[in-house]
Amino acid sequence: MEATCTAETLSTTCDTCPARMVCHCLQVTEDVLLRALDTMNLVSVKDICRHTGAGDGCTACHRRLRKYLDQRTALPMTQPSPSLSPI
């Protein structure tokens, strides 16, 4: 029997999904989400949907996406991001 991802395993890696999926419907990985959060001024799940596609399906991942957003916004800003530096 082939292993498949279920809602319980979406936020972890498994033998069939080497990349950690944050949105199973749109196949968006944690790496893609974290890169988007680092490089874009995403402040809502709607922003994440717009820029990565994550959350644009069944919406079951919205709570998880919100947790990533909350973790990112809770981080102290020690230095401005290089992408936000003046030209």
Q: Which residues bind ligand FES (CB under 6 A)?
A: 23-26, 54-61
Our CB check for ligand FES shows the closer of 58 and 84 to be 58
Our CB check for ligand FES shows the closer of 17 and 25 to be 25
Q: Count of alpha carbons within 13 Å of 9, Cβ hemisphere only?
A: 11
In this structure, are residues 21 and 14 in contact, taking their beta carbons and an 8 Å threshold? no
Cβ at position 85, least distance to ligand FES in Å = 33
In this structure, are residues 63 and 71 in contact, taking their beta carbons and an 8 Å threshold? no
Our CB check for ligand FES shows the closer of 70 and 79 to be 70
